[in-house]
Structure 1
Amino acid sequence: MLTSTHLLRRRRFLPLFVTQLFNAFNDNLYKTTMVLFVVYAVYNDESTEAAFSGLASGLFILPFFLLSALAGQLADMRDKARIIRTVKLCEIGLMTIGAAGLYMAWQGILVQSVAIPLLLLALFLTGVQSTFLGPIKYAILPQHLKQDEVLAGTGLVEAGTYIAILAGTILAGPLAVEHTGWAAMGIIVIACIGYLVSRQVPAAPPMGEVEKLDWHILRASVKLVRDTMHNAEVYYAILAISFFWTIGAVLFIQFPPLAKNTIMASPEVASLFLVVFSIGVAIGSVAINTLLKGRVSARYSPVSVIVMGAFVVAFYVVAKLWEADQPQSLLGVGAFLAWPMATVLLGCLLGIAIAGGMFVVPLYAFLTTRVAPHKASRTIAANNIVNSGAMVAGSLVAMAMSAIGIPITEQVLLCAAMCLVSAWLGKRLVAAENEAADLAATMRI
């Protein structure tokens, strides 16, 4: 905790932390407002709502799959701080497109033919922006921080990201239907502030030999993943992270329609679900750093994801009990909290998120500490390619289950099954970690 407080007072960390905070806040204010508005104000069918939620998630994730190789090359071969400033400047333009879509949809102007396509275009461009920032926010840390500060910095970035998601999600709930115009204005203002803060990030020039960029997206992606996965620790960390975010993607697809059609909750309550999830991941991100005392290790990851799966099953059971005694009209926050088992439902969500945060944060630290510093960005980019492919697959599975009529509540069990796979991968990572430590000890002798 002292290390974390120390970092927040340093220019080598604070501007990056705040820039990422504003970026995550704005992304989620926009995404959550857009999805809740469409689910609650445009469509009125569970399968259509789930399909739109899945389409939105897929469009946001797709750029990670297509462009991460280029993003990783740029981050390792150009000044990372300069890339951050360029991307944040572009955010002002893409949020203007999103604001136009939100305002038109709110006013009922060409909703299906123009407004929704504009919303989805802006969401795709937001994914492009995050693709180019993704390799930097973790890979820049070993460049600006001491070795014993990297895990604390990674935990702070992860916790800060989820605090920002929390704030954006809280604000999106009340703005989503009644005051969407304010959200449209806000995302442009926040993009401008984020750009100004990004100008304070210290320079982070390339640390190795500057190589020629490979603009062939498919070839570069295949080469990047192949070159990265030969390290056993990195290999299992990437696979485990991929399954974790696939679980997260499926849960986030399910939340809005599940909240509306099973829990019978208002947009504010749907927003509350995402808020609780974000708080939990932030708590887990900080807690695991305290447990590990700054050491990068996956030893708590297998048990963390098993606990996460148990909470997913508990959430499913509570949702089924809720379905059996369902309200007749949408519940506001107060009415929801007064409903039997509401506290248990939120407790299950919180448990899922805390365990998830404890599982994933050390894995990101592996990606930046188990490779040469000049390859850190490309390692994160390779991780993003595999993650996004897995998340798109998860989104397609969720959409397919909705299309064939599997109820949203039953789909939650898919996440519990994926937790078992993540636990196995976490166990394999711990074994690889121990083997690497034994080898290093032998070489010292």
Structure 2
Amino acid sequence: MSDLKKMYRTLTHDPFPNEMTLTLGDQKLTFRKRTWEIEGEEKGLRYGENPDQPAALFELADGSLELEGVAFRAAGEGLVSALTEEHMLQAGKHPGKINMTDVDNAMNILQYLTAKPAAVILKHNNPCGAAWTDEGVAVALERAFRSDRIAAFGGAVVVNRPLDEKTAEIINSAYFEVVAAPSYEGRALEILKGRKNLRILEIPGLSELEKLVGTPFLDLKSLTDGGIVAQLSFRNRILSVEDFIPAEAEKDGNHFIARKPTSAEAEDLLFAWGVEAGVTSNSVIFVKDGVTTAIGTGEQDRVGCAELTIHKAYTKYADLLCFDENGCSLYELKLKAKTDEAAAKTLADIEARTKEAKAGLKGSVLVSDGFFPFRDGVDVVMAEGVTAIAQPGGSIRDWEVITAVNEASPQVAMVFTGQRSFKH
């Protein structure tokens, strides 16, 4: 191929029919393909996960599903799949599958964060930064972005309150591919349209996500042999701090119980568990004052996930110091430091301050999507200054993990969620 860039600019032919029907026993669901008229042409998804994968977006248009008394989300409740030209305020290069699924997963997270203005930045269907605050979406987005400005590059920004001019200016100060909000205020839309390739979506349902909580959707996973696994979607049982379960265990006639979190710690754990619903397992999330301080995703072992997440946090924290103080990335400074003595001294100073601050992790709480099978993962995160932990519980070594937090000085709090939050 003479010009590799063409593969990203070329639209993939869509071979899919306009309608798809799914029959489950005596219940039928009818889906219709979503397309848009853009620049005088009818266009569907740009392409699938990769440019050479044709793809189509289908909306549940008719029918409802109930299994053993559990009612599923029904026709007429669409969000991403219900987007029309009216909602696509600027198509940019017009969306592909990844853009849509990033926005969708943001809403999966935000349905549990409706109590406050919140912002989530998604990249490859995982959050790289999230925050909520009573100070408004601009502050939430700024904090989410600064928690990991490296991964945010080229990501999707989704907020759960009307997007104002200040928030638009923050978005325009960096490179994003997609922005979605329930509505846009003042000159916000005009500011955002300064980026011609930015996909700008208006999704009114973002302001009513609490209506989704508790009602599952039919979650279908396709197998490589053409088979399908059908499951109910994840339903978060931790909707308030009162839903956490005291961390207790029995071993050889001994009773072990962990310290209860403070109200501030419990609030951060609640936020973190909401974000956890959208993170690929194995995962851990560090949070402090309503902001993710580190997010670890998709690792094979829990202690390894904790260690890699901490490593990432140190890199991101040092990079932010470098960018704020020197106007360049950490990697650019490291390259310069190889031949420039002054740059080498600057780098050493940044690394020393990052180590001293424990990369901003000190004082964070932590959630884990699965139980800790050993105390090693807990010991690793407590060494960075974590003060409270929420995890599913249910391990035969819960007593050992509770012992670990009780031995910490000061004592670290722990609660159980009573459910696992795996996502594959």
Provide the TM-score with structure 2 as the length reference: 0.26
**Larger RCO of the pair (alpha carbons < 8 Å, separation 6+):** 1
Provide the TM-score with structure 1 as the length reference: 0.25
Structure with greater helix percent:
1
Larger Rg: 2
Structure with greater strand percent:
2
